Amino acid sequence: MTPRHDLADLAPSVDALFAEWDKPDSPGCTVAVIRDGQVVYQKGFGMANLEYEVPNSPGTIYHVASISKQFTAFAVQLLAFEAKLSLDDEVRKHVPELHDFGYSITLRHLIHHTSGLRDQWNLLGLAGWRSGDVITEEDILRAMWRQRELNFEPGSEISYSNTGYTLLGLIVKRVSGVSLRQYCYERIFGPLGMVHTHFHDDNTEVVKGRAYSYAPTPSGFQNVPLQYANVGATSLFTTVEDMALWDRNFDTPKVGDVALLDEMHRSGTLNDGTKLDYASGLVNGSYRGLRIVGHDGADAGFRTAYRRFPDQRFATMVFANLSSFDSNLLVRKIADIFLGDLMSPAEARTSDSPSKPAEFQIDKDDLHHFVGDYYCPELSVIYSISEVDGAISMDFPKGVATLQPVGVDAFNAHPIGLVTFEREQGNITGFRLDNGRVRRLLYEVWRR
C-alpha cells in the first residue's frame, strides 16, 4: 500500500516541480496523483491557450498522443473476450487490402509492435507530410497499401510502429460495425463516466476547453498546429480527471474483468522466447525497485506521461502542451515525493558523449555517379540528387539534405536518414533508405 503522508506537507513539493511554468505567459501542464483509487492532488500550471490567456486546469482537455494506444488495445481485448475476433487472427482476415508480405502477421503482432510494418509517421514524413497537415485515416491507409516490404520478419524483433495501432482501430470499426470513437464511448468512456473523453476523428470539430500545442523559440513560444483526423495510434482527447477514472478501473474493474485486465498487462514474446516489456498499449517496467506500468505520448507540442505503481495502488500523470517538457521525468519526480521511502536509492545517471562517426573520404570525381532522380514506388515520390561545389545534396519533398559520406556508397542524409546506394555490374540502380522505424525503403533510378 502507499505510505500515508500528510498531503499538506507533500503538495508544496509537487507545486515546486512545476513552478517555472506556473505563469501567465507560458504553456504548461495538468497534473494528477491517485492514491488508493482517489485523486489526492490535481492542478494546472501555465496556460492551455496563450492567445486567449486560458489557464490549464484539471479539466483541460488534452490530446494525449500515444497514451491513446491502451484504449485501442482495450477495445480489441473486449472484442476478443466476446469471441468476435482472436488476437491470433491474421491481420488480412480483417484488412485484406494490406499487402501479403509472405508472412503471417497477427493482431498480437500489431499490439506488441512486432509486426515488422513500417511506421506511418516516418513514411508520411519521407513523403513530404508535416504534422500541421490534415492527416486522415485514409491518407495513412493509402500509404500502407503501397508498402511491399517489412522491416523484419514478424515476431523476430520489436520496433515501435504506430501503423499497427491505426490498423487495430480500423479492425475495431470493421468487427464492431461502429467507429472506434463510438465503440469506446459506448463500452469504455460512458460506463466509466469519462464524459470529457473521445477519440478525435474529425480535425474540424470544436472542442471546448482544449489545450493548444506550443514549442519554445528564442523570443517566447510558437504554436505547433496538429490537424490529425486519424485514431487508434493517437488522437485521444481526455483530462487528468477522466484518466483518474480509467486508472481506478485497473484496481476495481467496472469495465472488463480481472482476466481481461490481466491480458492487458501480459507482455509480448518474440519468436525466440524473449519476453518484452510492451504489453497492450502499456509498458511494464520498474523504477527504483518498484514495479511500474504506463505509457508516454508525444505529438506536435504535446508531451504526456502516465505511470501506475500497481503494488502501491498509486498513479500519477502529467499532460503538457510544450514540446520541451519532459513529462516522463516529472511523473517520476512526483513518485519520488510520495513513494520515496519505499524506493531503492536513485542510481546516478551517466551521460556518455556520443562518439563522432569516423570520417570517410570519397573521390570528388566520383560524385557525379550519384547524381539523378530516384523514384520510391512505395511512397510515390521522387528524390533528386545534384552536385554543387564538390558536394552532393538531396532534394526531397519540402526539404534539402547534404549527403555526408560514411562508407562505400553510404551517406548520412540528415534529417532524412542513412542512404545506401545499390549497384549492378558497377552501375548505380537505386538506393535504400533507413530512417529509424522505416528500414531499407527502395528508391529506383528514375532519370539520370
Check residue 137 and give its pLDDT. 97
Q: Do 401 and 319 share a structural domain? A: no
User: Within a domain: residue 298?
Assistant: yes
Q: Which of 370, 363, 347 is nearest to 430 (CA)?
A: 370
pLDDT grade for 135, boundaries at 50, 70 and 90 = very high
- CA-to-CA distance for 299 and 171, rounded, in angstroms? 23
Domain hosting residue 331, numbered range = 7-342
Q: Do 63 and 115 share a structural domain? A: yes
Count of domains forming the chain: 2
Domain boundary (307, 342, 377) is at 342
Q: Do 242 and 142 share a structural domain? A: yes
What is the mean predicted confidence (pLDDT) over 60-75? 98
User: Within a domain: residue 179?
Assistant: yes
- CA-to-CA distance for 214 and 269, rounded, in angstroms? 38
Average pLDDT, the chain: 95
User: Within a domain: residue 263?
Assistant: yes
Q: Do 129 and 52 share a structural domain? A: yes
User: Within a domain: residue 307?
Assistant: yes
Check residue 9 and give its pLDDT. 85
Q: Do 434 and 370 share a structural domain? A: yes
Q: Does the pLDDT value for residue 424 go beyond 70?
A: yes
pLDDT grade for 362, boundaries at 50, 70 and 90 = confident
Q: Do 246 and 292 share a structural domain? A: yes
Q: Does the pLDDT value for residue 440 go beyond 90?
A: yes
Check residue 207 and give its pLDDT. 98
Rounded to the nearest angstrom, the gap between the alpha carbon of residue 223 and the centroid of all alpha carbons in its chain is 20
Check residue 8 and give its pLDDT. 72
User: What would the pLDDT profile of 17-57 be if each residue is shown by its tens digit?
Assistant: 999 999 999 999 999 999 999 999 999 999 999 999 999 99
Q: Does the pLDDT value for residue 4 go beyond 60?
A: no
Q: Do 256 and 108 share a structural domain? A: yes
User: Within a domain: residue 359?
Assistant: no
Tell me the CATH number at 388.
Answer: 2.40.128.50
Check residue 364 and give its pLDDT. 84
User: What would the pLDDT profile of 140-191 be if each residue is shown by its tens digit?
Assistant: 999 999 999 999 999 999 999 999 999 999 999 999 999 999 999 999 999 9
Check residue 348 and give its pLDDT. 63
Domain boundary (289, 307, 342) is at 342
Check residue 198 and give its pLDDT. 98
Q: Do 206 and 105 share a structural domain? A: yes
User: What would the pLDDT profile of 203-236 be if each residue is shown by its tens digit?
Assistant: 999 999 999 999 999 999 999 999 999 999 999 9
Give the number of other Cβ atoms within 10 Å of residue 415's Cβ.
10
- In this structure, are residues 235 and 63 in contact, taking their beta carbons and an 8 Å threshold? yes
Q: Which of 424, 416, 414 is nearest to 441 (CA)?
A: 416
Q: Which of 204, 206, 266, 212 is nearest to 80 (CA)?
A: 266
| Choice between 353 and 47, residue whose per-residue pLDDT is larger | 47
Tell me the CATH number at 157.
Answer: 3.40.710.10
